[in-house]
A and B are shown apart, each in its own frame.
Chain A
Amino acid sequence: MNSEKPIVQMRKVCKRFKKTTALDQVDLEIYPGRIIGLLGANGAGKSTLLRHIIGLYLADTGECVTFGCEAGKLGPKELARIGYVHQQGELLEWMTVRQLVRYVSTYYENWNRELEEKYIADFEISTKARVGSLSPGQRQRLAILVAIGLEPELLILDEPAAALDPVARARFLDLLLQIIQAENRTIIISSHILSDVEKVIDHAVIMKEGRILLDCGFDELRERFSQVRISALTGELPAELPFENVVYCKRSDGQAILTVRDCPQEKLQEQAKRLDCWVEIETLPLEEIYKIVVS
């Protein structure tokens, strides 16, 4: 049981768009000081969930509370604690980058000019360029700048790195780790690039068809899934391998690769000792874990 107070609480939230159920009985609690990875296929309901948190969408049934306030009634004081990078990135096209930053910053008391200048320099954003003429990557960088400049307590990133090149993505991930250093900062990141996400997150939420399939700490998640490689030292492998909760098994010529669920590494080591084989136990990458969870 977590002793801290959650900054976001969703209880039995349902949202339908005509015949499509976007969110189905979603229960979620988000605690401060974490980087949460929100994972799921296209149409799983990730963006809808994020938009409920800031009150852009209202739940058909259920309740969504952000910073102790009903999300639909969030006022300027609460919203000034939230930074949001939208998937489509609506910005004011006719302004220059500098004008847009000046305009957005006017709304916020705690706008960090130092961070703004550093970010502009690090991410090579042309401040004189017209927002409408920016490339998708540059546009995404600008959207991130206007979301982090206000030093938000809760930073919501909906597919933030999709349009960034590999170098910019690496810098962006470093930036997230810097942001989270500050006390009580929380980041929710929704992304399809799982290899990037797993470098930074400490909590994972996996969604499918509007439901939350899994909601747990990332370390716990990695411990729950292991890959066991077994090679026979002499002859063939035994017909029956003494492992429990095997979700996937591939055997070939004295070798086997098993994916095991909910089996502690110590127990796996112990079981492996009984075999006269060479055994290697590895944790699975997030991408593989994700495939197992949603399949």
Chain B
Amino acid sequence: MSYQSAKMSILTVNLKHLYQRRGLWLVYAFLGFIAFACIAGALDRPAAGKGQFTRFVLLSPVIGLLAAMLALEVVAKPFSYSLPGHRKTLRQFISVVGVTVSLLGSLLFLMYPGLRSWQLALVPCSTLFAGLIFYWLGVWLIFGIRSSWRFVGFLPLVIITAGFFNLHVIIERAIVETPFAVILVGALSSVVAWRLLGNAGLARRYCAVPWLGFLDFWNRDKLQRYTQAKKAIKWEKLKTHPNPWVEQFFLGRMKECEYFSQGRHVWGGLYTTFAVALSRWRDALSGFLMALLVVCFLGYMGPAATIIFFIMPGFMVAQTRLPAYSSMLVSGGRTERFITTITLVATIAVLVTVLVTVVAASSLPLAAIMPDFTLRGANFSFHAVNMGLFFVPLLMIPIVFALQLIFFRKPIFMMLSIMLLFMLLFFGGFFGLPALVLQRNIVISHAVHKISID
């Protein structure tokens, strides 16, 4: 086999990852659905200058992000470093995916209304390069910003904001009206990307570095190994953590209980669960301020949207490790672990509910001072959070933890079931729960009124 054909086969092997990883099928289904919606939206009633045709192009950064992550996962494996020709496959893999996706996006512009003969060739070409510009942006996010995959969750927000400011319309105009400029920028960015991705130091930089891919969030063992490796460096810097008073408090409570008693194990469980949070009060304060900002944002989104505020904490605590499956042997038996776990779940649920209620209650005085405003023709007025939903975390957290324990060895099922629960609560809340709560409040107020009259 010649060197050239061997090189091609390495690329083929890497491209096969795109369908061999079954976890990606879910991502493809999601992206496919969005792509279908974009194409259907453009072809249904094609109109020029409305940004219908560039929505598909705007998917490019997401695909760039995904392709770069997949390529890096392979490069981070030590065995791939010494495989002949493998290091150069990184840029080939990323480029092949990028060009293919951008080409597909550009074909859509063949249906763009009002294009004259020479434009029929130039505009799709311009779209191809526009797609590549956005694709390289996604790739750069992965290589340029450390742990940028963490921000994947914010993508919907970015897309909504971009849509709000008509970015798709601006891009469409640029593609159609200034094709040469777009082609020039696209070609330059592609040359730069090709050269940077071909840098021999790149493979050296990422080889054997603890790396967590997009799909590894569902791989508990890998997640644990990665967090251990990363946090070790961080923890070494935090010399005062956990705080001595936290240790003294919890160990003191443990010592007050009899040896081998349930109380000693419960206090031990509370210590290992809450010590970090209690020691980092600055982070807790930042979290509180962040929650207030979320309340402000949701307050302007309307009363029904505030259900999200009560659902989100359930998600946030889902990764808390419960002692039920701990393999670190202390003197607690199965009964002690069970009771400790139940106590912890109850404590977390009550604490989170209280905190969420306090933050939600702060929206009541905010309602009096938050101004109304108009943005792009839409009127926004602040609504206090519906306090009638305060019980949602109290109900949701035990269910989330139960799912965590049931699917402990199958994190993908855990994630899916929690997402399903989220959807149920969200749509239930959006359409029915507030109405139910309001109805209940009316019934209660009627009853109170009747009693007071009697």
Contacts of B222 in A (CB 8 A): none
The verdict on A90 contacting chain B, using a C-beta distance below 8 Å, is yes
Instruction: Scan B245-270; emit 1 where CB is below 8 A from any A CB, else 0.
Output: 00100010011000111001100100
Which residues of B, 417-441, contact A by the 8 Å Cβ criterion?
Answer: none
Pairwise interchain contact B251-A102, C-beta atoms closer than 8 A: yes
The verdict on A235 contacting chain B, using a C-beta distance below 8 Å, is no
State which of B231, B268, B276, B326 has its C-beta within 8 Å of the C-beta of A107: B268
CB distance from A111 to the nearest CB of B (A): 10
Pairwise interchain contact A94-B231, C-beta atoms closer than 8 A: yes
When chains A and B are docked, how far (Å) is the Cα of A223 from the Cα of B233? 52
Contacts of B332 in A (CB 8 A): 76, 79, 107
CB distance from B72 to the nearest CB of A (A): 24
Contacts of A133 in B (CB 8 A): 232-233, 235-236
Instruction: Scan A78-117; emit 1 where CB is below 8 A from any B CB, else 0.
Output: 1110111010101111110001001110111100000000
Pairwise interchain contact B330-A91, C-beta atoms closer than 8 A: no
Contacts of B452 in A (CB 8 A): none
Contacts of B330 in A (CB 8 A): 79, 104, 107
Which residues of B, 118-165, contact A by the 8 Å Cβ criterion?
Answer: none
The verdict on B200 contacting chain A, using a C-beta distance below 8 Å, is no
Contacts of A106 in B (CB 8 A): 251, 254-255, 264, 268
Pairwise interchain contact B331-A79, C-beta atoms closer than 8 A: yes
State which of A72, A79, A99 has its C-beta within 8 Å of the C-beta of B329: A79
When chains A and B are docked, how far (Å) is the Cα of A82 from the Cα of B331? 8
CB distance from B46 to the nearest CB of A (A): 53
CB distance from A177 to the nearest CB of B (A): 23
When chains A and B are docked, how far (Å) is the Cα of A38 from the Cα of B276? 39
Known: A75-B335, A103-B251. A94 touches B276 (CB 8 A): yes
CB distance from B9 to the nearest CB of A (A): 32
Contacts of A107 in B (CB 8 A): 254, 259, 264-265, 268, 330-332
Instruction: Scan B68-93; emit 1 where CB is below 8 A from any A CB, else 0.
Output: 00000000000000000000000000
The verdict on A254 contacting chain B, using a C-beta distance below 8 Å, is no
State which of A55, A79, A94 has its C-beta within 8 Å of the C-beta of B242: A94
Pairwise interchain contact A93-B251, C-beta atoms closer than 8 A: no
The verdict on A73 contacting chain B, using a C-beta distance below 8 Å, is yes
When chains A and B are docked, how far (Å) is the Cα of A77 from the Cα of B260? 6
Instruction: Scan B211-248; emit 1 where CB is below 8 A from any A CB, else 0.
Output: 00000000000000000100111011000011000010
Pairwise interchain contact A90-B242, C-beta atoms closer than 8 A: no
Contacts of B268 in A (CB 8 A): 103, 106-107
Interface residues on A, range: 35 or more
The verdict on B272 contacting chain A, using a C-beta distance below 8 Å, is yes
Which residues of A, 41-61, contact B by the 8 Å Cβ criterion?
Answer: 54-56
The verdict on A132 contacting chain B, using a C-beta distance below 8 Å, is yes
Which residues of B, 314-351, contact A by the 8 Å Cβ criterion?
Answer: 326-336
Instruction: Scan A127-171; emit 1 where CB is below 8 A from any B CB, else 0.
Output: 001101100000000000001000000000000000000000000
Query: Chain A CB within 10 Å — which of B247, B259, B272, B329 has the most?
Result: B329
Pairwise interchain contact A93-B329, C-beta atoms closer than 8 A: no
The verdict on A74 contacting chain B, using a C-beta distance below 8 Å, is yes
CB distance from A78 to the nearest CB of B (A): 8
Known: A76-B332, A103-B268. A86 touches B327 (CB 8 A): yes
When chains A and B are docked, how far (Å) is the Cα of A91 from the Cα of B259? 22
Contacts of B271 in A (CB 8 A): 103
Contacts of A79 in B (CB 8 A): 329-333
When chains A and B are docked, how far (Å) is the Cα of A273 from the Cα of B331? 60
CB distance from A20 to the nearest CB of B (A): 14
Pairwise interchain contact B327-A76, C-beta atoms closer than 8 A: no
Pairwise interchain contact A109-B333, C-beta atoms closer than 8 A: no
Contacts of A92 in B (CB 8 A): 272, 328
Pairwise interchain contact A84-B236, C-beta atoms closer than 8 A: no
State which of A80, A91, A102 has its C-beta within 8 Å of the C-beta of B331: A80
Pairwise interchain contact A130-B242, C-beta atoms closer than 8 A: no
A–B pairs, 13, beta carbons within 8 Å: A54-B329, A75-B333, A76-B259, A79-B332, A80-B260, A86-B327, A92-B272, A92-B328, A99-B242, A109-B259, A129-B236, A130-B232, A133-B235
List the 3 closest pairs (A to B, CB-CB), nearest first. A76-B260, A132-B232, A133-B232
Given A80-B259, A107-B265, A107-B331, 17 additional A-B pairs, CB 8 A? A73-B334, A74-B334, A75-B260, A75-B333, A80-B331, A90-B326, A92-B328, A93-B235, A94-B241, A94-B275, A95-B242, A104-B330, A106-B254, A107-B264, A107-B330, A108-B331, A147-B329
